[in-house]
A and B are shown apart, each in its own frame.
Chain A
């Protein structure tokens, strides 16, 4: 009798005190939900909420539900640091996903490296996954446009395409169109500066000359002056690199200055949001941009392995949140699903999850592209994640 009581009490003890540790797989999620980069953080947060429901509705992973702890980094590095520390210490998360912007991600990198926790960034810059000395070596090279990283940060991965990939896609398109002189106009904020650096770095590789190099601020309301200069230059195409309202204003100004048909406007992959076309009114007609396939999932070739993934994500997202799908939310999807796959294979093992990502994510169809992670590539895909698209009657069509 006594023994059975002890057994019973032990069981109760186990259930009450030990099981909470196993009750859920905890994933930390940092995004700039408010502040200047909120248009990135918002779809990312929505996607995280939706995926949590999907996974838990399918009785979790190995029968264990997942919990995604979402924190707002407000577009500030100091906030990203605090959010990451909170997730790692107070919530004891297995993995940290985030953040939305390069600056915030860079501030989080040393923390995750120090406590040896996997971090998957949703921002684009190559420097997030590449160690500083490797970046320096590449920059110091005599032909920087031919360099690729040979080393990656051990604990850090990212799922957003590098800016260089989008640039290469654009330049390949320009080559095919016999465009040799381009003008670039970029926003003087993280995204634009990185894009500008890559545009300048890769131009010689494709025999392209940059004939005008214009800038504007992230809160500017009119870029007519800069575009006027470009109009007067010998450029055959203008490439804009920015995200948010400014890229719509550039589109409007470009259209108003009557540059359509003469100097085509090529936008960065940041243009990947239907609402940009709506906001620009008719001005976006003829804009060309490299886009991830999730945005035009219906038009993608059914043989493409990405097709089922992106169709499901797109329809569900649009039904649930009544807003157009964006590539940024897709980054959150890819990061969470990779972690979910890893958890399925190795369980709650931090090192195991990392190793799974580096070695087992091969030909893995996500929303961004088909991922092939390796010890020298923690991004997993390149220019092949994009197609050049053109705005025709307010819709994306494959650019001819």
Chain B
């Protein structure tokens, strides 16, 4: 983690730390909580796509595995929240390996379809295992998080919980990028053949990153399930995977900070478009198009470039 990153993380922590002191509204805190949850998944995806150059259209499935593990194990089997959380991570890891090992040799569109297929299969399973998941009608009555007698019910407590997790994962991701693994990943992104020639074990790294991003999504799933206390398969459909992918690209594929920004913007945007009522989908489409047309490298890079440009000017 470089000096600039350290400073930025510090500023972000302070901003988030004081946020609930100024904004008391449960509504705004909920939006921030959803941003946090999305940011966790998108950071993982950004590691996978931006740094390892792999595309995934199936991450909503890992999000769902985390959520359903937490939901089903606590509601139906009476597991503790902690145990259920780790079961989710464990299951996601196994699934991620199972899908990563055979699809590794795929690239580009083929990999996209393979992950898409995986996501859809998991989606069908959520729908069809009526006895366990409750099927399309969903699973209700998931308990809210509490440990050591401390309950995380209520907006600001959950806000701190989600963002503590998000910041920890952010620091972890930034450390990975600036480590040997990160350099190896970027080498894989640049040219697989060249990386291999330099002694990088390409396939091993790819699996590791894929599993890591699946774990991120699973963590987010647990946080989602205990916050909304109700889950149904539609939250984990293919179109959510696509939305997550858009967050990565809109934010800026090649950077963790961009991922954070993308998650923030694409979560807030629909909320702020409520005024447009029925036509929000139209306005939403226009805004997305505009961002992509004028900042094809993502907002993060677009903003950085314009800042540099402004500094030169004045």
A interface list, Cβ under 8 A from B: 33-34, 36, 70-72, 74-79, 81-83, 85-86, 88-90, 102-103, 106-107, 109-110, 125, 127, 132, 188-190, 192-194, 197
Judging by beta carbons under 8 Å apart, are A34 and B232 in contact?
no
In-complex Cβ contact of B234 among A77, A85, A193, A194 (8 A): A77
Could you say which residues of chain B place their CB within 8 Å of the CB of A34? 278, 280-281
Closest to B231 in A: A77
B140 near A106: Cβ-Cβ < 8 Å? yes
In the complex, the answer to whether B234 meets A76 with C-beta atoms within 8 Å is yes
Q: A34-B278, A34-B280, A189-B136 are in contact. Are A78 and B27 (CB under 8 A)?
A: no
Task: Tell me whether A110 and B27 are in contact (CB under 8 A).
Answer: no
28 pairs, A vs B, C-beta closer than 8 Å? A70-B277, A72-B277, A72-B278, A76-B235, A77-B232, A77-B234, A78-B224, A78-B235, A81-B30, A83-B274, A85-B30, A86-B274, A88-B26, A89-B27, A90-B25, A102-B137, A102-B138, A103-B136, A106-B140, A106-B230, A109-B140, A109-B230, A125-B137, A127-B137, A127-B140, A188-B127, A190-B136, A193-B136
Q: Which of A76, A82, A127, A194 contacts B30 (CB 8 A)?
A: A82
Q: Are the C-beta atoms of B140 and A132 separated by less than 8 Å?
A: yes
Report yes or no: B234 in contact with A103, Cβ–Cβ below 8 A.
yes
Would you list the 3 A-B pairs with minimal beta carbon distance, nearest first? A132-B141, A85-B27, A103-B232
Whether the Cβ atoms of A190 and B228 lie closer than 8 Å is no
Annotate B104-141 by CB proximity to A: 1 below 8 A, 0 otherwise: 00000000000000000000000110100001111011
Q: Are B235 and A77 in contact (CB under 8 A)?
A: yes
Tell me the bound Cα distance from A345 to B229 in angstroms.
35
Are A75 and B234 CB-contacts (below 8 A) given A132-B140, A188-B127? yes
Indicate whether B34 reaches chain A with its CB closer than 8 angstroms.
yes
Whether a CB of chain A sits under 8 angstroms from the CB of B4 is no
CA of A49 to CA of B178 in the docked complex: distance in angstroms? 56
Asked if A188 and B136 sit within 8 Å, CB to CB, the answer is: yes
In the assembly, what is the distance between CA of A75 and CA of B224, in Å? Answer: 17
A102-B134 Cα distance, complex, nearest whole Å: 13
Interfacial chain A residues near B27, Cβ < 8 Å: 82, 85-86, 88-90
Given contacts A72-B277, A77-B230, A82-B34, contact A89 B26 (CB under 8 A): yes
Q: Which residue from chain B places its CB closest to the CB of A33 in the assembled complex?
A: B278
> Is A107 a contact of B270 with CB atoms below 8 Å?
no
Q: How does the 8 Å CB contact mask read for B272-312 relative to A, with 1 for contact and 0 for none? A: 00100110110000000000000000000000000000000
Q: Which residues of A contact B25 (CB under 8 A)?
A: 89-90
Q: Give the CA-CA distance A103 to B281 in the complex, in Å.
A: 21
User: With the chains together, A131 CA to B128 CA distance in Å?
Assistant: 24
Judge whether B31 is part of the interface by a CB distance below 8 angstroms: yes
Which residues from B are CB-within-8-Å of A193? Answer: 130, 135-137
Determine which of A86, A188, A190 lies in contact with B128 in the assembled complex, contact meaning CB atoms within 8 Å: A188
Q: State in angstroms the CA–CA spacing of A267 and B27 once bound together.
A: 41
- Closest approach, in angstroms, between the C-beta of A89 and any C-beta of chain B? 5
Measured CB to CB, the closest approach of chain A to B36, in angstroms, equals 13
* A190 CB contact (under 8 Å) in B30, B232, B277: B232
B123 to chain A, nearest CB (A): 11
B-chain residues with CB within 8 Å of residue A82 when the two chains form the complex: 27, 30-31, 34, 271
The contact of A194 among B137, B229, B277, by CB within 8 Å, is B137
Closest to A189 in B: B136
- Looking at B26, B234, B270, which has the most chain A CB atoms within 10 Å of its CB? B234
Q: Which of B138, B224, B278 contacts A106 (CB 8 A)?
A: B138
Neighbouring B residues of A188 by C-beta, 8 Å: 127-128, 135-136
- Can you name 20 extra interface pairs (CB under 8 A) apart from A85-B26, A102-B138, A103-B232? A34-B280, A34-B281, A36-B234, A72-B274, A72-B278, A72-B280, A76-B234, A76-B235, A77-B234, A78-B34, A88-B26, A103-B136, A109-B230, A132-B141, A189-B136, A190-B136, A190-B138, A190-B232, A193-B136, A193-B137
> Given the complex of chains A and B, what is the CA–CA distance between A187 and B229 in angstroms?
25
- A residues within 8 A CB of B274? 71-72, 83, 86
CB-CB < 8 A to A79: which residues of B? 270
Separation in Å of the A376 CB from the closest CB of chain B? 20
Give the docked Cα–Cα distance between A132 and B134 (Å): 12
B151 to chain A, nearest CB (A): 12
Residues on A with C-beta less than 8 A from B137 are 102-103, 125, 127, 190, 193-194
Bound Cα distance A37, B298 (Å): 32
Contact B228 A107 (CB under 8 A): yes
Q: Which residues of A contact B34 (CB under 8 A)?
A: 78, 82
B228 near A77: Cβ-Cβ < 8 Å? yes
Minimum Cβ distance to chain B for residue A151 (Å): 14
The docked-state distance in angstroms from the alpha carbon of A74 to that of B281 is 10
Q: Report the bound CA distance from A132 to B71 in whole Å.
A: 14
- What mask results when residues 25 to 45 of chain B are scored 1 for a CB within 8 Å of chain A, else 0? 111001100100000000000
Which of A70, A102, A110 has the most CB atoms of chain B within a 10 A radius of its CB?
A110
Please, which residue of chain A has its CB at the minimum distance from the CB of B240? A76
Q: Which of B31, B135, B277 is the one whose CB lies under 8 Å from A33?
A: B277
Among A36, A78, A188, which residue has the most Cβ atoms of chain B within 10 A? A78
A100 to chain B, nearest CB (A): 13
Q: What is the bound-complex CA distance between A70 and B232, given in angstroms? A: 24
Expressed in whole angstroms, the Cα–Cα distance for A127 and B140 within the complex equals 9
A71 to B232, CA, bound (A): 21
Instruction: Report B-chain residues with C-beta under 8 Å of the C-beta of A127.
Output: 137, 140
A210 to B274, CA, bound (A): 46
Specify which chain B residues have a CB less than 8 angstroms from the CB of A33 in the assembled complex.
277-278
> How far is B229's CA from A107's CA once the two chains are assembled, in angstroms?
7
The complex places the Cα of A106 from the Cα of B142 at a distance, in Å, of 11
Nearest-Cβ distance from residue A134 to partner chain B, whole angstroms: 11
Residues 236-257 of chain B, each 1 if its beta carbon lies under 8 Å from chain A, else 0: 0000000000000000000000
Restricting to B3-36, which residues have a CB under 8 Å from any CB of A?
25-27, 30-31, 34
Bound complex: CA A197 to CA B131 (Å): 11
**Docked CA distance A107–B138 (Å):** 10
Contacts of B30 in A (CB 8 A): 81-82, 85
Question: What residues of chain B lie closer than 8 Å to A86, measured between beta carbons?
Answer: 27, 274
Inter-chain contacts of A74 with B (CB < 8 A): 270
By a CB distance below 8 angstroms, the chain B residues around A132 are: 140-141
**Contacting residues, chain A, for B224 (C-beta < 8 A):** 78
